[in-house]
Amino acid sequence: MSAKIPTELTIQDKASLTTGRDFWSTTELKDTDVPSLILTDGPHGLRLQQGGSDHLGLADSVPATCFPPAVTLGSTFDVSLLERVGAAIGAEARAQGVAVVLGPGINIKRSPLCGRNFEYISEDPLLSGALGAALVNGQQSQGVGSSLKHFAANNQEADRMRVSADIDPRPLREIYLRAFERVVRTASPWTVMCSYNRINGVSAAENRWLLTDVLRTEWGFDGVVVSDWGAVTNRVASLKAGLDLEMPGNPGNSVPAITEAIASGELDEAVLDESVDRLLAMTKKAQPATGPADLDANHALAREAAGKGIVLLKNENALLPVRPGTSLAVIGEFAQSPRYQGAGSSQVNPTKIENFLEEICTLQGGELVDFSPGYTLEANAPYNSELAAAAITAATHAETVIFLIGLPSSVESEGFDRADLKLPASQLELLEQVRAVNPNVVVALVGGGVVELPFADEVPAILAAWLGGQGGGGGLADVVTGKVNPSGRLAETIPHRLEDTPAALDFPGEHGHVRYGEGIFVGYRWYDARKSSVRYPFGHGLGYSSFEYSALAVSQLDDGLCATLKLRNTTEIAGREIVQLYLGLPGTAVARAPRSLAAFACIELGAGEEREVELRVDRSEIAYWDTRVETWIVEPGNYEVSVGASSRDIRLTESMSIAGEIVPVAINEETTLAELMADPIGGAVMAQFAGEALSGISGGDGDSESQEMMASMLGSMPIGRLLNFPGSPMTRESLDQLIGGILGARAAAAQHPGH
């Protein structure tokens, strides 16, 4: 038994600690100092249920601030803002005596159809990791633990309890695990929640490679691994894999299973003790409840976050912001019946709700606003001619139309995926008719994910308002009127069509398996590699200010690189710019996207202000996962360092040579001539032999061009095959000498580096 575990605890006591007492709390041990802890849903606000309990958001919960979901928070690109949001959630949780809030969710948006994308931050692992770490740091600063989820590859809701995400090693490491690694290493979450799905055939809850080898041994995680609710099917197998806490509680089945497995020798008691150690350590971190949180301040923060997460996609002729005195026709039921969060386990019971109609009337003047609902919010609602006629009349008499369009809540939820990317046909039809009578239309998109935008070329202004939380109505009104200068950026690409998306042919899989056939080419990496047109690219977003980039300089650091540039606000309006740095490597020897996000910064500048901006890129953002040696490797080469306002709005580019690391190839009979010649030591040894060998095989005839062609053709030939070619000077003895000589030279170089 571990020295940290009280000696009076029996095997049954210890086993009981590894499964919850009930739906939301851990097991306490009476007559000891081991308390019960409350865990409850997040991730964008506290969902503490009292009385009836469920994991699907059906039962009521105590009032709490409903912050914007991750789809909106991700679009802020704002680390400091998300740390403040995390701290506010933590403060409300601690006031209610909650020890762990289940969040944030940082799974990659592999397909825009994923029903839970509103809970996830981005299609990019760097952005997901940086913002996820900010939420964890903020929440845990209040003495309340986070539960980083869903580990790992939970990228769809279809068959989510058992589907196997079949992923090759490079995309698994570079795309789907990378954000988790960043958060674990930089923010030390108290818990990590395993996902329901299988990964390459092995359940996440029983995946020792995932939960122990990678998470603990490689990344150094020392917290608690908790199951998603209902993810455990075999408690003994999951305990062996490294899953410490099964939720919800199942003591009647799990405790006997563990005790019997130890009695029979199937399970080593030391394995149980390791989990108990970690669980006891978590109980010591938990802090006592405090006084009530400042809900008014948190509501103001929710509104701020909503405004900063709105993305201005298009703004022709400076239609936005609407000027004081401009008459408005506000069209869309969403204006008075806001959709502010997604459905499922993350549903928060808000402390108050702002709707856009009331807030725009307050800011613009109610006498200047004419409202018409235009449509109803039922799924597949037919075109309503009576509502439409009133909306068209309102649009006819207004200077500017604010048209709210989006998805009803019934099509976006945990538990199922969307069927397509289309907006409701009745809303699109009404929009077309409104445009016919008033071309000055501002479209505000409401929803938890991207949609097809067939009207994008026809309307002058488009806002992605996403799901704004309880302050979303005010946040949108702030942006429309110019009280807030929009600075949100797309954390996911908006495609033209579903058929264009990377996973379109491999989603959601079949017969219990989904093949991640797009590999590392997820999101903008896919579109850029294929040179495909998109509706709006990753990182895109406009504002009411414009910015000039200049004087890019790049220097190398021991652990990466540093880029500096000058940024100037060229307008008379204070604003924020999201400066984005991308890395590319022309001529790379491995599959790569043309460029990938490696750093970003939110920069606030006053009217006409100029400032120097510094962006640091860690080595981890330069490296790729080399499957030959199963580790991160920086490929040597001349890298392109680009900065700009989106993945396709690159303003400045510089080159920088990085020495990188040479991976020695395995030397045996299957090593090819090309691999051997590219190896520093193997190439030197082989050079004396290559000319004679190639000349013998080719017969020694032909001009230099023919000889070069022959060398290229033979480059893919394993050296052992030279034994079988007529004219080759290679013999068994000389082959063995060649291989032995190279291995010997390598060994000598390893003993005397630098010589």
CATH of the domain at 320: 3.40.50.1700
The whole-number pLDDT of residue 702 equals: 55
**H or E element in which residue 136 lies:** helix 125-140
The identity of residue 691, as a single letter, is G
The whole domain housing 181 covers 11-285
d(CA 699, CA 175): 49
Q: Give the catalytic positions in this structure.
A: 228
The whole-number pLDDT of residue 685 equals: 72
Query: What Å distances lie between residue 332 and 57, 138, 426, 434, 438, CA to CA?
Result: 26, 36, 11, 12, 16
Same domain, 234 and 350: no
The answer as to whether 255 is a domain residue is yes
The answer as to whether 542 is a domain residue is no
335 near 357, Cβ under 8 Å?
A: yes
- Beta strand 224-227 with 202-203 is unpaired
Same domain, 129 and 226: yes
> Pseudo-torsion of CA 46, 48, 49, 54, nearest 10°?
70
Closest CA to 18 of 278, 284, 287, 286: 278
Tell me the CATH number at 578: 2.60.40.10
| Residue 150: cis peptide before it, omega within 30 degrees of 0 | yes
d(CA 88, CA 94): 10
Q: Which residues of the chain have pLDDT under 70?
A: 1, 3, 51-59, 687-713, 753-755
The whole-number pLDDT of residue 754 equals: 57
The residues, ordered by sequence, that sit 6+ positions from 32 with a Cβ below 8 Å of its Cβ are 6, 8, 9
Same domain, 323 and 464: yes
Same domain, 628 and 719: no
Same domain, 262 and 122: yes
d(CA 221, CA 215): 6
Q: What is the pLDDT of residues 415-465, one digit of tens each?
A: 999 999 999 999 999 999 999 999 999 999 999 999 999 999 999 999 999
Return phi, psi of residue 744, to 5°.
-65, -40
Same domain, 207 and 353: no
Structure tokens at 116: 């839970």
DSSP 3-state assignment of 598?
strand
The identity of residue 607, as a single letter, is A
The answer as to whether 559 is a domain residue is yes
Same domain, 249 and 147: yes
Query: What Å distances lie between residue 230 and 55, 180, 252, CA to CA?
Result: 10, 22, 15
Q: Is 745 exposed, middle or buried (0-12, 13-18, 19+ CB in 10 A)?
A: middle
- Beta strand 400-406 with 328-331 is parallel
The identity of residue 294, as a single letter, is D
Q: What is the pLDDT of residues 607-620, one digit of tens each?
A: 999 999 999 999 99
Q: What is the rounded radius of gyration, in angstroms, for the C-alpha atoms of the chain?
A: 29
Q: Residue by residue, what is the 3-state secondary structure of 302-340?
A: HHHHHHHHCEEEEEHHHCCCCCCCCCEEEECHHHCCCCC
Same domain, 679 and 612: no
Q: At what angle do helices 680-698 and 704-714 cross, to 10 degrees?
A: 120
The answer as to whether 523 is a domain residue is no
The answer as to whether 259 is a domain residue is yes
Instruction: Decide which of 623, 658, 693 is a domain's last residue.
Output: 658
Helices (H), 482-592: 524-529
**H or E element in which residue 597 lies:** strand 596-605
Q: Residue 699: count other Cβ atoms within 10 Å of its Cβ.
A: 10
Instruction: Decide which of 285, 309, 342 is a domain's last residue.
Output: 285
Q: Residue by residue, what is the 3-state secondary structure of 232-270?
A: CCCHHHHHHHCCCEECCCCHHHHHHHHHHHHHHCCCCHH
The residues, ordered by sequence, that sit 6+ positions from 712 with a Cβ below 8 Å of its Cβ are none
DSSP 3-state assignment of 145?
strand
Structure tokens at 460: 């002058």
The residues, ordered by sequence, that sit 6+ positions from 503 with a Cβ below 8 Å of its Cβ are 110, 111, 516, 517, 518, 522
d(CA 660, CA 666): 19
The answer as to whether 524 is a domain residue is no
Structure tokens at 15: 């086993």
Same domain, 471 and 495: yes
The whole-number pLDDT of residue 714 equals: 72
Closest CA to 128 of 72, 76, 182, 179: 179
Same domain, 133 and 164: yes
The answer as to whether 516 is a domain residue is no
CB-side exposure of 215: number of CA atoms within 13 Å? 28
Same domain, 558 and 483: no
The answer as to whether 593 is a domain residue is yes
Q: Residue by residue, what is the 3-state secondary structure of 402-465?
A: EEEEECCHHHCECCECCCCCCCCHHHHHHHHHHHHHCCCEEEEEECCCCCCCCCCCCCCEEEEE
Q: What is the pTM of this model?
A: 0.94
Domains held by the chain: number: 4
- Beta strand 596-605 with 461-466 is unpaired
- Beta strand 461-466 with 441-446 is parallel
Closest CA to 442 of 539, 312, 555: 312
DSSP 3-state assignment of 61?
strand
The whole-number pLDDT of residue 590 equals: 95
Same domain, 305 and 277: no
135 near 212, Cβ under 8 Å?
A: no
Tell me the CATH number at 15: 3.20.20.300
